[in-house]
Structure 1
Amino acid sequence: MNRYVYRQFQLIGLSALLCTSDLAVMAQTNNLAKYEKNAPAPAVSLKDALNSLKEHYKVDIVFGDQVIEQYTVSPGIINYRQSVEKNLEAVLSTSGLKFRKLKNGTYAIVGRMSGRRGASLGVSEAKTPIALTSLSEHLPMLPQTISTETGREPEKVADNPVRGKVTDEKGEGLPGVNVTIKGTTRGTTTDASGNFSLPNIEKNTILVFSFIGYTPKEIIADGKPILNVSLTEESKSLNEVVVVGFGTQKKATVTGAIANVTTKDLVQSPVANISNSLVGRMPGLFAVQASGEPGNDASTLRIRGVSTFSGAADPLILVNGIEVSNYNNIDPNEIENLTILKDASATAIYGIRGANGVIIITTKRGKVGKPQLSYTANLAVTSFTNLRKGMDSYNYARLYNEALRNDAYVTGAVYTPRFTEADLAKYRSGEDPVFYPNTDWYALVLKPQALQTQHNLNLNGGTEKVRYFVSAGFFSQGGQFNNTDLIKEFDANRKYKRYNFRSNFDFDVTSKLKVSLDVASQTENLSGANWPTVRVIEGIGKANPLTSPGFIGDKLVNLPGLGTVVNPLADMFGQGYNRQFRNFLQGSVRVDYLLDFLVPGLSATGILNYQNNNTETLTNLRPLITYNAVRLPDGTVNLIPQNIEQPFSFGQNIGKNRRTYAQFGFDYKRNFGDHSVTSTVNYNQTKYFDPNLAFLVPNGYQGVVGRATYGYKNRYLAEFTFGYNGTENFAPGKRFGFFPAYSLGWAVSEEPFFPKNDVLTYMKIRGSYGEVGNDRIGGDRFLYRPSAYTQSNNPAGYFFGETGSTITAYTRAIEGRLGNPDVTWERAVKQNLGLELSLWKSKISVTADVFSEDRNNILANLGTVPATVGATLPAYNLGRMRNRGFDGDITYNDRIGQFNFTVRGNFTFARNKVLFQDEVQRPFTYQYRTGQRFGQYFGLIADGLYNTWEEVNDASRPVSAWNNNRLQPGDIRYKDVNGDGIINEDDAVPIGYSNFPEKIFGVSLSGGYKGFDFSVLFQGASNVSLAYARRQVRGWFENSGAVDYLINSWSAERYEQGQTIWFPRVTTGADENHNNKMSTYWVRDGSYVRLKNAEIGYNLPKEMLSRLGLSSTRIFVSANNLLTWSSVFPGVDPEQSGTPPGSTIGGTTNEEPYPLTRTINFGLNLRF
């Protein structure tokens, strides 16, 4: 990086330090006594110290101003490397005050012991308004009535007393609950068991029950002496600490659009990788699984849809704030939470990497306490969710004859049936299984089930000085290929194994210095046939039931005579055996240092990370011997080898890459009375080394990022973020960019005018605007440089003197694509408006966001430049695209007796539109891709089938540009869109949607009763089209198999009898062109609803476990991909989107993905 850029970094860093210093000076001026410049550091008020602890540890500390206002503490007394309780003891040590832990995350500061039996506090700092707070150890076993007006015990009055007990949702007594008469300061507190007593309570008096962390309740005294009350715990969501870019924030102060899930949600899905466990769980996250192949079954993730038609649309994925390429391999038991950042306010800090959104995975860390050992075991059975069935040999032979008859009209040949009636009878009876077989290739190649196992053992604990989390895991996933031991030395079944290890250590070296050491490793073993699984599945579809009886003994047999013999087992073994070993190792060192001796609230952070990937692929080849069956005159069967046994051959390929990351920055956090200010500035740098990179030049990123936030009483919120970063992939002067974002938030419910009610208890409005970049724009690396290549073969090489096929040519250099020095990243302008609500005492929470994104600088080729230019022109940043939509979720929590339950739903709608891409000139405006969705299907509009010769011979019928217009009954009827009397590609219009959904949703229900718990998750997608793959719907009765439902193809007999017809007439492929065009006949609705996950568990009673040294034991049964509802054909999974947009069904490939799998899992979790 040049001197100018370094100068900019220096100026930015210096400015940040000056700003934080200025803020600190202002804070001290406003909140502390004024001192001379050279005076020693002033004391800090106890109130400010307690507020600092609240902010740092994200806890509630409740106190009364009149109790603490007279006290101060020395500025260096707080040690943030110790626990909050240790610091509370320290700051209260000189005052004689005490603290009481009311519940996890909530503490109360109480006065010193006096002659009174109880002590009162006017509490103004609690998040939940209450009238009184008392220390339980100072309370008597029976409640004492006090008066805050006089500070004396009132005279005992026995008239109309009211007694009772205050309990929580579990029925346990709540000590220290304030019970007051509404409109007065007269009241009492509950004792250690939750009991209270108030004398002289008139009928219809309103009593107010309030307690930290619980929703206050008002009860009308009805004159009865006994009054029992149950309080409901307030929603914890607003106090949750959520992960944001380069830091954390309280959810209540977040102004960006984010969503998160915890490890509890992730481990409910018995799946092989993280991406599949996210399906249907988060608003704004699209997840589509295209394959169920072991080791290659991850889902494609998109945040708020797709906003580019050229560049990569994958989100940036970070683990503990650092980019990794194999996040899917993390054991879900290692994860604490997962957060997605959706709008510019949340992602602009990542600059040129954040336009597609960001996913941050945070792993677990050690906690202070005794060691806790946890073991989880899972044993699962997998099976295909939806598998087609092959057509039996009798119907195949019968339809083959029918296909020949249909083709004869087009070719002009004389129809001669291939199979006689005697042949058909033998196929039907099965009397000769060798030469008249009925082979079900789906059953022969695929087996119904496979096993999957997972184990995890982790240890968590530590002291104030050292904390640790260590985890080890194993995962094994078997494939469902059958008969994989044909070659004894090989096992061609697809198998995947993974070994996980992670250790996270935190050391408090001093009171100001903290060091964290993280190590993670994943080792993967992937084995199976060297033939791709997509080709195996394709081979099953191509193999017909007549060309092989399968096995005779242990020999795989083929039958020549019906076209090209396709044998998927022979194909699978013909390319040998493949084993792949992948190892990933990473280590991180993080150092945090408190600089509060310079500026209170200031700290510095440094991170170094190293990642190493190694891959070794071993290939062994020993072809399978197949046999032809021949019947001898005496009727016996002779098996003739088609090939000879070959010796082993061996191949090896080794790949490796590594990545380094460095980060250094400053953080500043302070509270000044009702004001809170935070800021962060970080420099970061990444280098990626791979021998396969162009010119062997490492891929690198470098930049400075920052964020500043301001809050007033958690009511008015403002945030500014920026990313200034770049990459060497672009030309000098085009490498760095500045990406700012701004956001505001308004917690309306915190306003004094907002009515306090039990219906709408919280309301926040937030909005953001900003710019983000995407440097993964597609195309070759270093597009600003011209490309060249060499050729030496005849006739492309140079000749000097004689020429000819026998003369050796000299190598010549050839100019390739021209360079474009102006090429740069995509730039996205994003806007977001969000609303957060909490209703009915936090039983219902709602989040809703409306978003808009305009992406420009999308890389596109020039379509309007004539071919006579004479050179291959570079791509330009010409494209523009728009993406708009909304997302949200709603959660309902409640309890009925001992049964607690949660209902949660999320929904996302994202529609994109191509605004410009410089297309070639097209004859009709409706054919332009500009103005349509990205991935929009284009095709003919089908209008049923021609069913009679009268319809075919109608003079008004448009002429077909295919099959020489020789149509016949059973062919598809198309609409002549442009009215020229010809059906051709000019009649193709936008049909359906794209093959990526516009709408997704998830609905979950979970609950618990005593020791039992359960959860179910429904997930679905709509506004998506599926174009069937060729083998799924077309009957090529020549060199091809057929699925069983093709029996519903058109025939004159079926039409006359009124039977169900799904498909056009069958053919051997001689006249396929007319019927296989992309059209509404083949592009169908791909919407679906799936029962994605279900789980039921039971926690054994603790009394039973204590003798075994166990703290908890849970047994559970779970399942994934249980049921699917859709309108697609049998054996087709709607999530596997079939053929991409093209002119014919099947596109340019006939490959089919490995089917998705259903998982039934049995699990056990032990905690020691």
Structure 2
Amino acid sequence: MMKHTKYKILLASLLSIITIIGANAQSISGIIKNPKGEAVPNAIVKLDGLEVTRTDEMGEFQGVDITSKQTLSIEHDLFQKKAIDVNLVPNIIILTPLSHKQGIQIGYGEIEQMKSTQATSAVSGENLKGFSTFTLGNRLSGKIAGLTIVRNGNEPASDIPDMFIRGTSTYNSNNILVMVDGFEATINNLLPEEIESVTVLKDAAALAIYGMRGANGVLLITTKRGVNSRVQVKLDTKLGFSSPARRMKFTDSYTYASLYNEAISNDIGYWSPIYSKDDLELYKNNSDSYFHPNVSWYDEVMRSSVPYTENTLSFTGGNNFAKYYVMLGYVSFDKLYGKNSKAKADELKNMSETSRFNFRTNIDLNINSFWSASVSIGGNIIENSKPNHSNMSDLLASTPPNAFPIKNMGGTWAANNIHTENPLGTLYESGKLSNHDVNVQTGITLNQNLDKLIKGLKLFESVSFVSWTRKNYDRKRDYERYQMNKSADGTISTEKVAGTNTDYQIDENTREQSLRTAYNLGASYSTKFNSVHEVSGLLGFTYSNYEIEGNNAPYRNTGLYGRFGYSFDNRILSEFSFAYNGSENLPPNKRFGFFPAVSLGWIVSNENFAKKINFLNYMKIRTSAGIVGNSHFGISRFAYQTYYANMQDKFNIGSSANVSLNGLQEGRIGNSDITWEKNYKYDLGVDLRLFDKLDVSADVFYEKRTGILSTYASTTPSTIGAILPYENIGKVSNKGFELTLEYSDNLGKVDYYIGGNISYAKNKIDYQAEVTQPESYLYRTGKSANQFFGLEAIGLFQSYDEINNPNTPVQLFSPVQPGDIRYKDQNGDGYVDENDMIAIGKPTIPEINYGFYLGAAYKGLDIKADLYGQANRSIMLSGNHVWAFYNNGQVPEIATERWAYYPEQGIDTRTKAKYPRLSTANNDNNYQSSTFWQRNGSFLRLQNLELGYTLPEKVCRKAYLNKIRLYVQASNLLTISSISDYDPEIVYGYPITKSYSVGLSIQF
């Protein structure tokens, strides 16, 4: 009996174990793809480190039995190893390419990063999505080592930044060349969704192929293309609102009037207030809004927040014959102009909205083994409106809060004889300026594969048309402004001080347009023999013609380009590249030049001794040297020609004194010997992957720009009687370094990454024509091309005894008083004048640019942040946003810390003053460019913070979807800067905004 009982217990135990194992075991399948959505064949699927299967040609694996205690991982030579939670195995698994084994874009081609000897850096379009801004260029801040973004404003559609590659190396035009899908175009109106990658070409090896267009660097944009898979549909939508990150800060009427009493007393020399105590009290308690108004014009004109939306819909797919990518996008950004008004709601919305519709269709056809073709059509339509005023920001800064009320008692718009424009009246009544832009880029490429004749030989022919059309709509009118007056007996009257009520005048016939046509044809060759020798070559011809409607001669460039490479045993790399091209901007007999570059590379990690270093996955050392040119000087075109102009003076002809003709006068003298600027570039770099987790790329560089166009005008007496010609005499050197790091790993089930880049570029003027100076520090030569010059402020004068001290230098700009800025006499001659201006602070263009990013994911949750910053940069404060009462304008809040001493009035700020004494007159002494107004322009900005959640795959399948992701996002939440009163990036004008949004991403 006991024996049977033992067997029963044993059998029950076995059945329990089997049941438990069966409960925890599961059979999984999946599809492995790259970020483009292409299948990854031959990927190794491992359980607990042991191979169990591999993916087929479609990237699929099936029937892998796994328990909850096992570890699943995917490995492939071209991708980073990926560990996956067995309880969260998605149907589609995306692998991240190894940085050194993925293809990178270069001039007129693509190459595996490991085989490249060029200095390039890139960012994917996916990594540009976080930051909300209308213009794409601003999204690139801090994203790419060596690329500097200098923002010129933040008003939607007008926020086009300046872009510099490796700083600046000329004091003429530093405009970079921008190429979209191989042809020159503009990028500012592209959407991140349609972009595959943005690549910066930096050294001679990368730029020589562009010849005299390459000296300032090249930005390559590659748009997305189709893949061989079933159709993939992706919908992204984002809704949010933005508000000023920092606003202009001006005083209220009470403070304004109080400080005005000080200012006028300072001008007179004794206490003599304009505003009585009763006036001040009325301003303070806001009890007389008509004759003692207190209007915050900024708050009345600018809204506290405005909505925006970004939406894209894309289709990707294809087969062995045809692949396609189609995208539609719509973005809309309201502007901050126009505080909510029911009466003006429709008109304000129509006047402050900017929208853009983007479209793209890229098709690749594999016609047969010989022919293939591609067609790319992309563009956008922009509707942009704004108030019919040239500079609303300046109008707000120049209108004091107590100048007049918004409207008079009778409902008329208020103004006065000094301030004749009413900011709110101008906003509501003056109409709007609108433009309707249509941008279209069309590219067609034919390819011939000549493998059957010569293995590795291919031919290509392509043409591109980039058209831009703008239709302007100008709707404007004048309006009456009245001043309200009160007589001694209390009688109130109004008088017109400006304007006449008119009907709207509409001009909608103004049109602008341009067309850029370009051709590119050539041949490429690549082969490998004896298993260790690899040879490649590229030879092509390019021609471009850019025409702008009106009296503008076409811009034309044409020439040959080539690149030839040889590598030995995948260890030693070498390349020679060149361009022989010319420009219409140069003399007919000197339009063409030759621009060569050579580069070498050594893949250290492929050497036998390096393979023994376990933590070294990849290491490559590369160097390059070469010459590139610049024929777009940023000055008047055709400088080789002498120009003539009509004289204002006339001479009489004939028998009648009433018959006269204008004479001709010689303009700038032409120089038939001018040529392009030459930029000699040298680079040394290293690329590393360590511990299978850390990617490193570092470069040091030196450039020497010669032949910069300038004149000897400053060294030649004006009695010469002519405008001197341009000559190739300027020289600038530039040097620096770049570093990019990225680390990715996991802590248990948490995947995380962190990375960043930093670049430093410092230039120096080696020569420019300068008049002989009395002091060495006055020369621009030897200083940065973007250097500030000004006076060195050494405090504020505290008394007349200090000013009249015989040892105190005399400041010659205007008579000084206690509280005025005191400057250092640099040359010790007893006077402070223009000869005491030295190089102050740092350049206007930042010498240091950096960016950081980090993120983590746990199950369906993900979080990421992007930061960027600039350093070694100075800004100079000036104008009516800074100087109190400047041109009868406002008083900025910083002026409340002014120097003042009226003890009878209880006013004494001498020991704590941070601002000079106030004056109602423009003060030439205090308004000089000096260290007093200069600020450290360095900053660090939290550009983007995003938290997302991806729904479980089972939930998505029930909704017949592949992926659903919800996220919340914030931009420009935090800025760290030593400047508290102004934004360090955009000091004045339309403010930088911080934004908050929610988004939804769906994949079908």
> Residue 879 of structure 1: CA displacement?
0.6
2:205 aligned with 1:345: yes
Alignment check: 8 A CA contact 2:443 2:465 kept: yes
> Residue 786 of structure 1: CA displacement?
1.0
- Find the counterpart in structure 2 of residue 708 from structure 1: 564
> Residue 264 of structure 1: CA displacement?
1.6
- Find the counterpart in structure 2 of residue 1009 from structure 1: 858
Question: Which of 402, 408, 423 in structure 1 is aligned with 2:279?
Answer: 423
Question: Which of 959, 970, 977 in structure 2 is aligned with 1:1126?
Answer: 977
2:246 aligned with 1:386: yes
- Find the counterpart in structure 1 of residue 710 from structure 2: 860
SS of residue paired to 1:596: coil
Alignment check: 8 A CA contact 1:1026 1:1085 kept: yes
- Find the counterpart in structure 2 of residue 662 from structure 1: 519
Summarize deviations over 1:307-340 as a string: whole Å, max 9, x none. 1101x2121111101101x311112111111111
Question: Which of 299, 309, 313 in structure 2 is aligned with 1:453?
Answer: 309
Summarize deviations over 1:392-446 as a string: whole Å, max 9, x none. 111111111111111113xxxx763211122112111211111001111111111
Summarize deviations over 1:1067-1104 as a string: whole Å, max 9, x none. 0015x011111111111211111111111111111111
Paired residues, what number?
A: 936
Higher strand share goes to which structure? 2
SS of residue paired to 1:797: strand
Alignment partners' CA distance in 2, 1:404 and 1:788: 51
Structure 1 933/214 Cα, relative in aligned 2: closer, same or farther at 3 Å?
Answer: closer
Alignment partners' CA distance in 2, 1:801 and 1:783: 37
Structure 1 419/846 Cα, relative in aligned 2: closer, same or farther at 3 Å?
Answer: same
> Residue 212 of structure 1: CA displacement?
5.3
Alignment check: 8 A CA contact 2:214 2:629 kept: yes
- Find the counterpart in structure 1 of residue 598 from structure 2: 742
Structure 1 803/914 Cα, relative in aligned 2: closer, same or farther at 3 Å?
Answer: farther
> Residue 566 of structure 1: CA displacement?
4.9
Alignment partners' CA distance in 2, 1:568 and 1:403: 25
- Find the counterpart in structure 2 of residue 374 from structure 1: 234
Alignment check: 8 A CA contact 2:262 2:271 kept: no
Alignment check: 8 A CA contact 1:947 1:1055 kept: no
> Residue 870 of structure 1: CA displacement?
2.2
Alignment check: 8 A CA contact 1:531 1:573 kept: no
Summarize deviations over 1:627-682 as a string: whole Å, max 9, x none. 32234788575555554421222223111111111111111111221222111111
2:131 aligned with 1:269: yes
Structure 1 659/314 Cα, relative in aligned 2: closer, same or farther at 3 Å?
Answer: same
Larger CA Rg, structure 1 vs 2: 1
Alignment partners' CA distance in 2, 1:810 and 1:215: 79
2:110 aligned with 1:258: no
- Find the counterpart in structure 2 of residue 318 from structure 1: 179
After TM superposition, list the pairs within 5 Å mapping 1:201-240 onto structure 2. 236-240=98-102
Summarize deviations over 1:358-416 as a string: whole Å, max 9, x none. 1111111111111111111111211111112221111111111111111113xxxx763
2:453 aligned with 1:598: yes
Alignment check: 8 A CA contact 1:507 1:514 kept: yes
- What amino acid does structure 1 have at the position aligned with 2:301? V
> Residue 1057 of structure 1: CA displacement?
6.0
After TM superposition, list the pairs within 5 Å mapping 1:758-773 onto structure 2. 758-773=614-629
> Residue 764 of structure 1: CA displacement?
1.0
2:547 aligned with 1:689: yes
- Find the counterpart in structure 1 of residue 414 from structure 2: 558
Question: Which of 405, 413, 419 in structure 2 is aligned with 1:549?
Answer: 405
Alignment check: 8 A CA contact 2:699 2:737 kept: yes
After TM superposition, list the pairs within 5 Å mapping 1:99-114 onto structure 2. 105=40, 107=42
Question: Which of 980, 986, 994 in structure 1 is aligned with 2:843?
Answer: 994
Summarize deviations over 1:76-113 as a string: whole Å, max 9, x none. xxxxxxxx99xxxxxxxxxxxxxxxxx954539xxxxx
SS of residue paired to 1:590: strand
- Find the counterpart in structure 1 of residue 435 from structure 2: 580
After TM superposition, list the pairs within 5 Å mapping 1:129-140 onto structure 2. none
- Find the counterpart in structure 2 of residue 1145 from structure 1: none
Structure 1 601/193 Cα, relative in aligned 2: closer, same or farther at 3 Å?
Answer: farther
2:1002 aligned with 1:1160: no
- Find the counterpart in structure 2 of residue 1067 from structure 1: 919
SS of residue paired to 1:313: coil
Structure 2: segments with no counterpart, 5+ residues: 1-31, 55-61, 68-73, 83-93
2:732 aligned with 1:797: no
Structure 1 553/1107 Cα, relative in aligned 2: closer, same or farther at 3 Å?
Answer: farther
- What amino acid does structure 2 have at the position aligned with 1:1161? S
Alignment check: 8 A CA contact 1:494 1:529 kept: yes
2:589 aligned with 1:728: no
> Residue 849 of structure 1: CA displacement?
0.1
- Find the counterpart in structure 1 of residue 151 from structure 2: 289
Alignment check: 8 A CA contact 1:542 1:566 kept: no
> Residue 683 of structure 1: CA displacement?
0.8
Summarize deviations over 1:919-950 as a string: whole Å, max 9, x none. 12222111010110012111111111112333
2:256 aligned with 1:396: yes
Alignment partners' CA distance in 2, 1:167 and 1:1075: 74
Alignment check: 8 A CA contact 1:392 1:1044 kept: no
Question: Which of 671, 687, 692 in structure 1 is aligned with 2:528?
Answer: 671
Alignment check: 8 A CA contact 2:126 2:192 kept: no
- Find the counterpart in structure 2 of residue 1041 from structure 1: 890
- Find the counterpart in structure 2 of residue 524 from structure 1: 382
> Residue 242 of structure 1: CA displacement?
0.6
Summarize deviations over 1:584-639 as a string: whole Å, max 9, x none. 12221111110112101111111011222111112122223333223478857555
Structure 1 398/945 Cα, relative in aligned 2: closer, same or farther at 3 Å?
Answer: same
Summarize deviations over 1:116-136 as a string: whole Å, max 9, x none. xxxxxxxxxxxxxxxxx9xx9
- What amino acid does structure 2 have at the position aligned with 1:602? L
Alignment partners' CA distance in 2, 1:799 and 1:216: 88
Alignment partners' CA distance in 2, 1:669 and 1:554: 83
Alignment check: 8 A CA contact 2:415 2:421 kept: no
Alignment check: 8 A CA contact 2:446 2:460 kept: yes
Alignment partners' CA distance in 1, 2:95 and 2:225: 27
Structure 1: segments with no counterpart, 5+ residues: 1-83, 86-102, 109-132, 137-164, 178-189, 196-208, 218-231, 1139-1151
Alignment check: 8 A CA contact 1:622 1:648 kept: yes
Alignment partners' CA distance in 2, 1:344 and 1:300: 22
TM-score normalized with structure 2 length: 0.89
TM-score normalized with structure 1 length: 0.77
> Residue 833 of structure 1: CA displacement?
0.1
Structure 1 478/191 Cα, relative in aligned 2: closer, same or farther at 3 Å?
Answer: closer
Alignment partners' CA distance in 1, 2:908 and 2:345: 54
SS of residue paired to 1:328: coil
- Find the counterpart in structure 2 of residue 589 from structure 1: 444
Alignment partners' CA distance in 1, 2:359 and 2:440: 10
Alignment check: 8 A CA contact 1:839 1:845 kept: yes
- Find the counterpart in structure 2 of residue 332 from structure 1: 192
> Residue 552 of structure 1: CA displacement?
4.9
After TM superposition, list the pairs within 5 Å mapping 1:107-146 onto structure 2. 107=42
Alignment check: 8 A CA contact 2:430 2:479 kept: no
- What amino acid does structure 2 have at the position aligned with 1:973? R
SS of residue paired to 1:406: helix
Summarize deviations over 1:169-205 as a string: whole Å, max 9, x none. xxxx74259xxxxxxxxxxxx996589xxxxxxxxxx
Summarize deviations over 1:823-868 as a string: whole Å, max 9, x none. 111110000000112111x211111000011001111011322222
Alignment partners' CA distance in 2, 1:287 and 1:262: 17
- What amino acid does structure 2 have at the position aligned with 1:167? D
Question: How large is the Cα RMSD of the aligned pairs?
Answer: 2.7
After TM superposition, list the pairs within 5 Å mapping 1:141-160 onto structure 2. none
Alignment check: 8 A CA contact 1:176 1:211 kept: no
Alignment partners' CA distance in 2, 1:628 and 1:490: 26
> Residue 521 of structure 1: CA displacement?
2.2
- What amino acid does structure 2 have at the position aligned with 1:980? D
Alignment partners' CA distance in 2, 1:500 and 1:855: 39
